[in-house]
Amino acid sequence: MRSMRFLLVALFTVLLAVPVLAGVYSGQVVGVIDGDTIDVLHNGKAERIRLNGIDCPEKSQSYGQKAKQAASALVFSKEVTLHTFEEDKYGRTIGNVLLADGTNVNQELVKEGWCWWYRKYAPGNTVLEGLENEAREARKGLWVDPQPVPPWQWRKR
């Protein structure tokens, strides 16, 4: 009985230490790592957030710095609401980022042409698919390039 109580107390303590992975919370953006990764203040610490369903060019790739600048202009120092899902293999929390006016930052970056809809991790997302197609047709952002290299291909090189 005593060991069972110890086990329950230990389990409860571990569960309290695990960050909330699925849920909704707000925080100030304190850093923009690149176009699809930001740091948001949560429970007194910066939490790394990977924007769900999109993939921006890497910083050293063509349009990577512009994608980072676009993300910074949208979110840096602003209060955002996060709808989080899970952690990726790098320990980043995956989520959708919303501004106070309701703007979905993930969608806005696709709409402005600074990233791809990440089909591998957001299959069937018809909103992102449509926004990417519109940005391509309008030749916005990175789509001014007739053959931009998707970051998942660039990373393999």
Q: Which residues are catalytic?
A: 50, 58, 92
3 state SS of 1? coil
Backbone angles phi, psi at 31, to 5 degrees: -165, 150
The secondary element (H helix, E strand) that includes residue 132 is helix 126-138
Q: Give the residue carrying structure tokens 């995956």.
A: 94
The radius of gyration of the chain's CA atoms, rounded to the nearest angstrom, is: 18
3 state SS of 117? strand
CB neighbour list of residue 76: distance below 8 Å, 6 or more residues apart? 29, 31, 32
